[in-house]
Structure 1
Amino acid sequence: MAEPILKVENLKKYFPVRRGLLGALRGEPQRFVRAVDGVSFEVYKQQVFALVGESGCGKTTTGKLVMKLLEPTDGKIYLEGQDVTELRTKEEIKAYRRRVQMIFQDPFSSMNPRFRIYDILEEPLLIHGIGETRAEREELIYKALEMVKITPPEDYVNRFPHMLSGGQRQRVAIARALILNPTFIVADEPVSMLDVSIRAEILELMKELKEKMGVTYLYITHDLSTARYFADWIAVMYLGRIVEMGPAKEVIDNPLHPYTRALLAAVPEPIPERKDVIKEIPIKGEVPSAVNVPPGCRFHPRCVYFKEGLCDKKEPQLVEYSHNHWVECHLAGKI
């Protein structure tokens, strides 16, 4: 089997909680927000790997760790065999950032409102020293805009971000990520800020670019419906851990973890015959604090299948239940 493009091993990120003066004087122990707590996965060339979960589950923090926007507390990240966690110098990180780019959730706030589209796309070229002359850089900018179907590019390069629609801004954001010809792209909820009518267009564009340019995506989303459409592989995160992982079709059609079932039940389905039907969501309560993670299975306070003496005492491990289908649940296959 081919070597993975990206390999993550036991990745952890803990954020310290500030103590008050009295707490420090009393000698209270330092507490941590366990945002990412032992995550491992592999992403292969030209694959779309989706991290799915509720807000606060740690998926965006995982993306930032892969981008080296945050330093991990523990664990390893390998890109094409290179240990990314050992990169220290500005030159090494700069070279890494050329190979790994990010598409942010909000295309408007991720762009300088004072820059024209030309300047936004020229900036990464200038930073990385690509294109010796302005004419060479202009050619690359026009090609990038044509690639994301912003045509004719000469009509858009002198516009400011606020002069574009949401879909056009996100296309420019994709062009900015692709202009350096990266190996890997972290797409952090790239369609959640867009109108429903154009989400499929943007995802279809990203699919086309994946085939054309050979890029690989880490797709971060809370929406299982877009993950099913776009992703090859799905990993479901809950409270800093991956609780289920496998091929997209397998995870969607045969969910083994109660949390995955709850996420699928939350996806609205049109039922013309019964417009008043409301699906019962098999979940209860609120997400616990990542500072005080529940003992045993961290999902057990919300699980309708909770088994006392097992789920609240023993922490489950991510095990391969069937071929390439991994789940972290004591009751996998029994519910």
Structure 2
Amino acid sequence: MKTIGVLTSGGDSPGMNAAIRAVVRYGVRNGLKVFGIERGYCGLIDGAIKELNFASVAGIMEKGGTILRTSRCGEFFTREGREKAANQLAKFGIEGLVVIGGEGSLTGSVTFHKEFGVPVIGVPGTIDNDIAHTDMCIGVDTCLNTVVDAIQKLKDTATSHERAFIVEVMGRESGYIALMSAIATGAEAAIIPEVPIDFDQLAERLLEERKRGKLNCIVVVAEGAGKAEEVARKISNKIGYETRISILGHIQRGGSPTAFDRLLATRMGVRAVQALLDGEKCATTVLKSGQITLIDTEEVISTKKKLDLSLYEMCMTLS
């Protein structure tokens, strides 16, 4: 293999640039020509492809987002779109791909490989941490630090005014962000898609804590478990606090990546290039017990990652 490509797809996550840097520099050091593909699979279809070198990726590790930009590409879901993408790879002489992204991006890579035989190595980058077989995905640690910082600031105001804050965080199908940030900030409750919530019982418990003299109340809700407005409507006027809503939104995706995310992304990027050089066809880099290894991508996307619900019990017990 002499030429590879790298793209970022789906939702951006902090650390993607560190992964791009690792792919480019490790690839060049090993005699490869490395092309960056802009705007994910859409750019692959459109031919938005350019060669990258050491200078191209200088100073990007500390930047949030992705210098290659990203998108969600409906056309790649069609056979015609994927055929266009394969033709672009042939045009540029690209023999293997590194795809950095979440579940949808990895699913697309499997279909593409099966249809056109292009070796594709996935690198899991998503703040939801919902990719199976890896302990952590790129961007998760930075996202959690952003959420924790925001909640700590809200607690200052909540205490000053003796209020409750309903904090909505990302997570349509996974409550990982909500649960971990609730534990890390000592929030009174986490509302997540994985566990049904009895709002009457929750309100009763929060009211008891208010009667004991607690000055603030933080409830963290994953967007997939219900909107903050809905939660507030169900518990307001029942918990003894004046209630406010804070929706953190896309601020959770941005920001300079933490040291953990920079290291994880770098290690995964290097391992992805090694995998292509070793002749791997369709695998994903994963973090297992501190080591970066490979798992067949089809196995990754066919497995539902389960949230450790013992952590939920711990959260509700300690709050």
TM-score range, shorter chain: under 0.3
Looking at both structures, which has the greater relative contact order when contacts are Cα pairs under 8 Å and sequence separation is at least 6? 2
Determine which structure has the larger helix proportion and give its number: 2
**TM norm structure 2:** 0.26
